[in-house]
Amino acid sequence: MTKMTRRGFGALTLGTAAVAALGVRPAFAQQFVTILTGGTSGVYYPLGVAMSQIFGKVMLETKFTVQSTKASAENVNLLQAGRGELAFTQTDTLAQAYRGDAEVGFAKPLDKLRTVAVIYPNYIQIVASKASGIKSLADLKGKRVSVGAPKSGTELNARAVVKAAGLSYDDFAKTEYLPFAESVDLMKNNQLDATLQSAGLGVASLKDLSSSMEITVVPVPPEIVAKIGDPVYVNKIIPANTYTGQTEDVQTVATGNALATHSGVSADLVYLMTKAVFDNLDTLAAAHAAAKQIQLSKDATASAVPLHPGAERFYKEMKII
């Protein structure tokens, strides 16, 4: 934590202690905060752990707990139900949930959702065993493919990409709905030909896979991205050597990742969490390389879901909005 951060939050902590000594809790004090993440082999979980440690040094009266989940879709449902205070989610899933997109599983709008920050890009990474012979999206036909945990953000991305490629899950020899680590285990045991994982670059599961067997990173060409027809899907490159044996850049598609909360969380608490995130980007980058792409800029506010008042206050102070 920087000296500026220590000074700024030191005053808050002293003020909190003084109020507590009088037997009165400050308005923002919330005894328990649950941070909703994803599978332990993904990117959300290590970043959530790092954030809990950062927050714990700032808000001494609050206990922060990190919960491993099935990620985006489950997280927004848990937020709506008040069973979490901060969550990682893909920006497309967040928008679909807020507007109530029944086609992807949100029967009614999750109207309590609020944005804290748009953080780093989520790359849709399709990785096949070299032995499978898969080199293109068309080659997935007749193969065994894992599309992510049921109704997770990854699985929603898989539906969009597969449909744009002119395929459906019925075209696969077998469709598995598994989290990242389980998908990798099946590939190692030759029970699966390919896995689609929507995550930050260098996700631990795919690093593990590429160090254990020869792989092919399957491209998602720009013409397929255009057919998805949703502006939250953008063309991106997976740089050469992101994974062992990947010697060339690979074209793919990406969405965004966001930190979200719900309208019932106090503005002061969300303000402090938002500030702590952007004051400690070096610490987050040390927890996972994907966090190196998080920046305090107008892009952090570019969400289809309204900002929480606490986050909005922070961005106004920083003259971002």
Ordered per-residue pLDDT tens for the chain, 321 residues = 443 433 343 434 433 443 333 333 444 555 899 999 998 988 999 999 999 999 999 999 999 999 999 999 999 999 999 999 999 999 999 999 999 999 888 999 999 999 999 999 999 999 999 999 999 999 999 999 999 988 788 999 999 999 999 999 999 999 999 999 999 999 999 999 999 999 989 999 999 999 999 999 999 999 999 999 888 899 999 999 999 999 999 999 999 999 999 999 999 999 999 999 999 999 999 999 999 999 999 999 999 999 999 999 999 999 999
Residue 43's nearest CA partner among 193, 175, 179 is 179
Q: Are residues 108 and 17 in the same domain?
A: yes
The CATH number of residue 181's host domain is 3.40.190.10
Which structural domain range is residue 15 located in?
Answer: 3-120+257-317
Q: Are residues 113 and 262 in the same domain?
A: yes
Taking the alpha carbons at both ends of the chain, their separation in whole angstroms is: 25
Q: How many domains does the chain have?
A: 2
Q: Are residues 57 and 105 in the same domain?
A: yes
The CA distance from 226 to 208, in Å, is 31
Q: Are residues 272 and 189 in the same domain?
A: no
Q: Are residues 86 and 136 in the same domain?
A: no
Q: Are residues 156 and 261 in the same domain?
A: no
The CA distance from 302 to 254, in Å, is 15
Q: Are residues 129 and 248 in the same domain?
A: yes
Q: What is the pTM of this model?
A: 0.80
